[in-house]
């Protein structure tokens, strides 16, 4: 305990290491909070491509906070959701003599003060019926009073996209989004995405005429004006909030990096000790394996493994550790153990009749073990980036949200071509601070544990 305290005192002399420690603490806290608040199964469910949790979110939307840096005129619209459930109907009328069928007229209104078009327009129907489906006639009313009939049919599916409705596009003579949001002085036929400048600002109304034909039958209509900003971290091409990937990426990256670093270093250390103690052919076999292993094309082999077997992250971790056991570090540790092997206390242990493994594990390893601490820290970012590289290549567990996976999606979906920088910058930023924090701390620890470097 006292040694740990003095270690922290020495670390205080390196200001960068304090920053690094703070960052690592924050990352650890984020990891723990994430794992507790969003359980693993929930994260996988949310991230899976078939998840319905994101259907009310826009595609490729920027983070909400980017609006803070935009002037009043160029602020991007957020998603606006209005439902007939939340407003009182204007009129309810019984149809026919049986008194079962009803006609309900409801108006939902929303304010649109933005000078940028929304990204999509959609309706969600919540219909309850047994045999005869309800009917809806929906009218879109612009702020200046023009009316467009956007839906006139029985309800046959749950979701209906207005912005990609072909009949509506033919009726309007232009893209529905442009037609429905255009200013009165713009002639509809000439509108295209290139010439359309700004949508009309003001209060839009959606008049919903719903007919139900059974006593217990109801129909609720939800209007979704998909925005161009969403959530703290924005969304991807499948409407998923990036925040889930960014948050869950943290424990995965830290776990992978730390376990790989600690696991491979410890095994390397033990093997180096065994080699030195037993010497002879054991030592030379270990040396030869190291030489061979150093020059193996590890990443291509790992990628191959990932493609042919689609292993989960734990298996990948195990293989990574296995392939990194016989690393250059074995030579450094070997040199250290060589010095230890000849020290008097080892001879004393031999004199009382201690066996080889007892000497290795009780006397040799504890003596040099502190040297491992900087190695744990310095090696971690390398493995974090390795995991990201594998995910970036699309290798491994597809349904696991990680930073590399977000980068992979961004790359294959051409985020940089289309100017969706947040999609690339957010995971990159997480990777960068994780990598830098561990590297900076590792550099400081290296100098503390390696006196030869101290002055330099």
Partner 1 sequence: MEPRENTVVKTIPGEKPSGGSEDSLLPKIKRSHPAWRSLRRFARYTAVRVFTLFCTVAVGIYLAILIANMGGYVDTIVEGTIREAVGSQAANNRAVLLMSREDRQAWIEDKVNAQLASRGMNRPFIIRSFEHLLGALTLDLGRAQFLSSDSGSKEVKRIILERLPITMVLFTTGSVVVFFLALLGALFLSRRYGSTLDRIVVAMAPTSTAPAWFYGIFLILIFASILKILPFGGMLGSSIPKTPLMYALTVLKHMILPLSAWVISRIFLAIYTWRTFFLIHSEEDYVELAKAKGLRNNSLERRYILRPTLPAVITAFTFILITSWQGAIVTETVFGWPGLGSLYYQAINAFDTPVIIGTVVIFAYLLALTVFFLDIVYALIDPRVKLGKEGAQ
Q: How far is the CB of 171 from partner 1 (least distance, A)?
A: 38
Pick the closer one to partner 1 by CB: 32 or 296. Answer: 296
Are residues 379 and 261 in contact, defined by beta-carbon separation less than 8 angstroms?
A: yes
- State yes or no: residue 303 binds partner 1 (CB under 8 A): yes
The one among 253, 431, 445, 448 contacting partner 1 by CB under 8 A? 431
Token representation of residue 354: 């201690």
The one among 167, 291, 362, 370 contacting partner 1 by CB under 8 A? 291
- State yes or no: residue 26 binds partner 1 (CB under 8 A): no
- State yes or no: residue 288 binds partner 1 (CB under 8 A): yes
The one among 65, 309, 345, 361 contacting partner 1 by CB under 8 A? 309
Within residues 123-152, the interface with partner 1 by CB under 8 A covers: none
Within residues 173-232, the interface with partner 1 by CB under 8 A covers: none
The window from 147-155, 178-186, 187-195, 301-309 that contacts partner 1 (CB under 8 A) reads 301-309
The one among 232, 301, 314, 369 contacting partner 1 by CB under 8 A? 301
Q: How far apart are CA 449 and CA 443, in angstroms?
A: 10
Pick the closer one to partner 1 by CB: 223 or 441. Answer: 441
The one among 141, 298, 349, 371 contacting partner 1 by CB under 8 A? 298
Pick the closer one to partner 1 by CB: 81 or 323. Answer: 323
Are residues 198 and 116 in contact, defined by beta-carbon separation less than 8 angstroms?
A: yes
Q: How far apart are CA 181 and CA 191, in angstroms?
A: 11
Pick the closer one to partner 1 by CB: 57 or 392. Answer: 392
φ, ψ dihedrals at 229, nearest 5°: -130, 145
Q: How far apart are CA 328 and CA 322, in angstroms?
A: 14
Q: Please, which contacts does 403-411 make with residues 24 or more away whose CB atoms are closer than 8 Å?
A: 403/245, 403/246, 403/249, 403/253, 403/427, 403/430, 403/431, 404/249, 405/245, 405/249, 406/236, 406/242, 406/245, 406/246, 406/249, 409/236, 409/237, 410/236
- State yes or no: residue 351 binds partner 1 (CB under 8 A): no
Pick the closer one to partner 1 by CB: 313 or 428. Answer: 428
- State yes or no: residue 299 binds partner 1 (CB under 8 A): yes
Token representation of residue 252: 């995965």
- State yes or no: residue 382 binds partner 1 (CB under 8 A): yes
The one among 25, 33, 128, 294 contacting partner 1 by CB under 8 A? 294
The window from 133-141, 203-211, 266-274, 413-421 that contacts partner 1 (CB under 8 A) reads 413-421
Token representation of residue 63: 């983070």
- State yes or no: residue 438 binds partner 1 (CB under 8 A): yes
The window from 87-95, 149-157, 188-196, 435-443 that contacts partner 1 (CB under 8 A) reads 435-443
Pick the closer one to partner 1 by CB: 275 or 381. Answer: 381
Residues found near partner 1 in the complex (CB under 8 A) = 16, 288, 291-292, 294-301, 303-305, 307-309, 328, 381-382, 385, 388-389, 392-395, 407, 411, 416-417, 419, 421, 424-425, 428, 431-432, 435-436, 438-440, 442-443, 452-453, 456
């Amino acid at each position: 305990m006292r040694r740990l305290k003095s270690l922290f005192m020495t670390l205080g002399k390196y200001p960068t290491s304090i920053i690094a420690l703070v960052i690592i603490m924050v990352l650890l806290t984020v990891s723990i909070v994430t794992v507790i608040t969003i359980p693993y199964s929930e994260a996988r469910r949310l991230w899976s491509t078939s998840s319905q949790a994101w259907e009310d979110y826009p595609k490729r939307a920027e983070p909400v906070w980017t609006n803070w840096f935009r002037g009043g005129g160029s602020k991007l619209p957020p998603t606006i959701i209005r439902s007939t459930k939340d407003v009182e109907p204007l009129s309810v009328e019984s149809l026919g003599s049986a008194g079962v069928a009803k006609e309900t007229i409801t108006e939902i209104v929303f304010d649109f003060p933005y000078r940028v078009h929304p990204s999509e327009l959609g309706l969600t129907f919540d219909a309850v019926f047994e045999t005869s489906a309800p009917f809806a006639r929906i009218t879109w009313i612009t702020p200046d009073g023009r009316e467009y009939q956007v839906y006139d049919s029985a309800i046959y599916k749950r979701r209906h996209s207005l912005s990609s409705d072909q009949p509506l596009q033919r009726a309007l003579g232009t893209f529905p989004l442009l037609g429905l949001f255009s200013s009165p002085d713009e002639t509809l036929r000439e509108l295209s995405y290139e010439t359309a400048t700004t949508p009309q600002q003001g209060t839009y109304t959606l008049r919903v005429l719903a007919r139900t034909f059974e006593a217990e039958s109801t129909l609720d209509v939800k209007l979704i004006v998909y925005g161009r900003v969403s959530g703290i971290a924005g969304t991807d091409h499948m409407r998923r909030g990036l925040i889930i990937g960014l948050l869950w990426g943290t424990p995965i990256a830290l776990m992978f990096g730390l376990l790989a670093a600690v696991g491979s270093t410890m095994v390397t250390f033990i093997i180096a000790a065994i080699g030195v103690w037993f010497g002879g052919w054991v030592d030379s076999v270990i040396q030869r394996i190291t030489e061979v292993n150093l020059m193996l094309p590890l990443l291509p082999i790992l990628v191959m493994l990932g493609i042919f077997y689609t292993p989960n992250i734990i298996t990948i971790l195990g293989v990574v550790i296995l392939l990194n056991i016989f690393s250059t570090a074995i030579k450094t540790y070997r040199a250290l153990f060589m010095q230890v092997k000849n020290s008097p206390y080892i001879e004393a242990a031999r004199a009382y009749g201690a066996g080889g493994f007892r000497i290795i594990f009780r006397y040799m390893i504890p003596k040099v073990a502190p040297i491992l601490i900087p190695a744990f820290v310095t090696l971690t970012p390398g493995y974090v980036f390795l995991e990201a590289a594998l995910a970036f290549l699309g290798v491994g567990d597809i349904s696991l949200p990680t930073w590399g996976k977000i980068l992979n999606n961004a790359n294959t979906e051409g985020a940089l071509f289309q100017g969706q920088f947040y999609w690339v910058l957010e995971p990159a930023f997480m990777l960068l601070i994780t990598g830098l924090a561990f590297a900076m701390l590792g550099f400081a620890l290296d100098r503390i544990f390696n006196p030869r470097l101290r002055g330099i």
